[in-house]
Amino acid sequence: MSVARQLLKKVMTGLLPHDRFLVSGPNSRVTSDGREHSWKEVALTFDDGPHPEWTPDVLDALAEAGWKGTFFVIGDRAAEHPDVLQRIMDEGHALGNHTFTHSDPKRTTTSQFHAEVRRTDELIAKLTGKQTVLMRPPKGHLTPGKFRRLWQGGQTIVLWNVDPEDFAMSNASEPLEWVHTYVPNQGDVILLHDRLPYAATIIRALSNVHGRELRSVTMTDWLSGGRRAPQVQPDRATASG
């Protein structure tokens, strides 16, 4: 991610309400009822699914850890695997919109982009009976026009501040190497991809290495928890979502 985009993200995070634009979660461990939890809350987020093999593996790994995740689904893949989409909901995870085809942001007009967003929102509601306001644009790219239309539609734009780059991993040792170098921060939003085999490996390794100090919650938990506006952690993101 370019320095200019990092700076823009930080400026927008400081100016916009946290229920409409999220890069990271709350940096305080104090909950809405005034209690302070001892662990660090992070949000594991998953793009580009659902996948018939890897998404169930991710769900199994989350269940083993006792954690929750947020799944930003592509509409046409959700239509192909409605049973996986329903399992995500049944197990208490959150769903978000990642457009209908994950079309190239540089080649997608504002009207095309919002048609895909609307189509995916309608599909999620039809298949699950639930609506979502969470939206992650492909690769994290938004033009002013696309941003304005999402804002007018009441969507919450969710980006990330930690990217293990699992899309570039090619063997089972790389996820483990990343986990051992990762230093968790309260409020981290971690970008993973459940169309790939490495997300579940990362979850299991995180649970084994950092399980005593870490909990994964959904983006909806943060939005509904009465938290203060989030603060951007040191940015380790790339445009890979």
Catalytically active residues are 47, 193
> b/e map of 202-238 (b: 16 or more CB within 10 Å)?
bbbbbbeebeeebbbbbbbbbbeeebeebbbbebbbb
C-alpha torsion 220→226→230→236, nearest 10:
-30
> b/e map of 25-51 (b: 16 or more CB within 10 Å)?
bbbeeeeeeeeeeeeebbbbbbbbbbb
**CA–CA distance, 92 with 95 (Å, rounded to integer):** 10
